Chains A and B, each alone.
Chain A
Amino acid sequence: MKVILARDLLGVNTVKGENNREILEKKGLLTLNIISSPGAGKTTLLEVTMKSLKNKYNFGVIEGDLYTSRDALRLEEHSHAIVQINTCGMCHLNADMVARALKDMPLDSLDVIIIENVGNLVCPAAFYLGETFKVAVLSVPEGSDKPAKYPELFKEARAVIINKSDLLPYTDFDLPGCVKELRQINPRAEILVVSARTGEGMDQWIGWLEVNVQQIKQLSTKECLQ
C-alpha cells in the first residue's frame, strides 16, 4: 500500500515550537533564543546580564551544547533554574528538546527564559523553539561581513548584539558598514554594540531586556483579565 503524506518536515518542528510558545505565553515569560557562532560570547554575556538582574528577575536557563555541561556550570549560580541539553553532535536545539527541558522547570516562579543555542550561525535559525524573540550575537573578531553572508539568522532576529567591542581597535571590523548592512537585511532589529568583558554598552542591552520582560508580563495579565 502507498500512503501519500506530502508533509513538510521543518513543519513538524514548528508545530512543537508553537506548543512551547503557548505554554510560555500563558505564564507571561519572555523567552529568548540566543544564537551565534561558537565563541561569540553568549555565555559570558549571559553571566554579566544575569548577575546584574539577579535581584530583580528569576532566570530560567536552557543551555544547549554539543557536549559537556561547562556553560551550565558557569551560569548556575546566577540562575533560578537551569537545564543542560547535550545534543551529542547535533548542530542545533529543536523544539522537542526544549519541550522536555520546560517540563523540568518551575515556570511559575520564573520571569525570563533564556535559551543558549548550540554555537552555530546557520542551523539553529531554521528551527523554531517557541521563543518570543531570537537574539543574534556577532562578535568583532568574526568580521563585519557575517550578517550579509549568513542573512537567515539576522533577518529573523529581534535584537542583534555586536559583542567584543573592546577589540574594535585591533581589528578591521567596519562597524558603520556592518550596522548599515544589518539595517538593510532587517530594518526593525535592535542593534546593540557591547563588550561583555568591559561592560561597555551592557546598560542598553539590559534595558532592552527589561522593557521586553515587562511587556510580555503585561500582555499575559491582560489576557487573563479578559
Chain B
Amino acid sequence: MHEFSLVSDLLETVMKSAEENGIKSVSKVKLTVGECHGALPEALSFAFMALSGDTVCSGAELDIDIKSGLLLCTACGHSFSYEILQTMCPECGSVYLDIISGRELRVDYYEGE
C-alpha cells in the first residue's frame, strides 16, 4: 500500500500548519485510518519515523486510530465487517460490494509548542 506517500502528505500538512501557528516542535500527531485502505499501522509508523527526521515532527509520537470497515453487498443487501482480502459477500458470493465505512484517512490534530 501507499504508506510512504500518505505520510509525506501528512508531514507536509502538519509542517505547514505548525509554521502558521509558530510551533517549533511537535510532540504528537493523531491520525485516523479506515480499515478499508489496507494501510498497515506498522508501515505508517515506520514511514513517519523515516520521513520526519529533519522536520518539526522529529521524535513525535504517531497515534493511529483504526476505524473498522463495514461493507454492503449490493446484490443481496447483506452487510458485514471488512476483512483484508475479502472480495465476496459471505451470504451470496457476489463481488459487488460497497464500502459503507472504513474509508477515513485523516489527520485529526497534533500537539506541540
Contacts and interface: CB of A to CB of B under 8 A. Distances in A.
Contact of A5 (B2, B23, B95, B108): B108
A219 interface: no
Interface residues of A, number: 26
Q: Is the interface of B mostly helix, strand, loop or mixed?
A: mixed
Contacts of A2: 109-111
A4 to B, nearest CB: 5
Contact of A6 (B2, B9, B95, B106): B106
Nearest to B74: A184
Contacts of A1: 21, 23, 111-113
Contact of B2 (A4, A8, A91, A185): A91
B13 A12 contact: yes
B63 interface: no
Nearest to B37: A126
Interface size class of B (residues with CB under 8 A): 20 to 34
A87 to B, nearest CB: 9
Interface of B: 1-2, 4-6, 9-10, 12-14, 17-18, 21, 23, 87, 95-96, 105-113
Given A9-B106, A90-B2, 11 more contacts: A1-B21, A3-B23, A6-B107, A7-B13, A9-B105, A12-B9, A91-B2, A92-B5, A123-B2, A148-B95, A148-B96
Interface of A: 1-10, 12-13, 89-92, 94, 123, 126-127, 145, 148-149, 151, 184-185
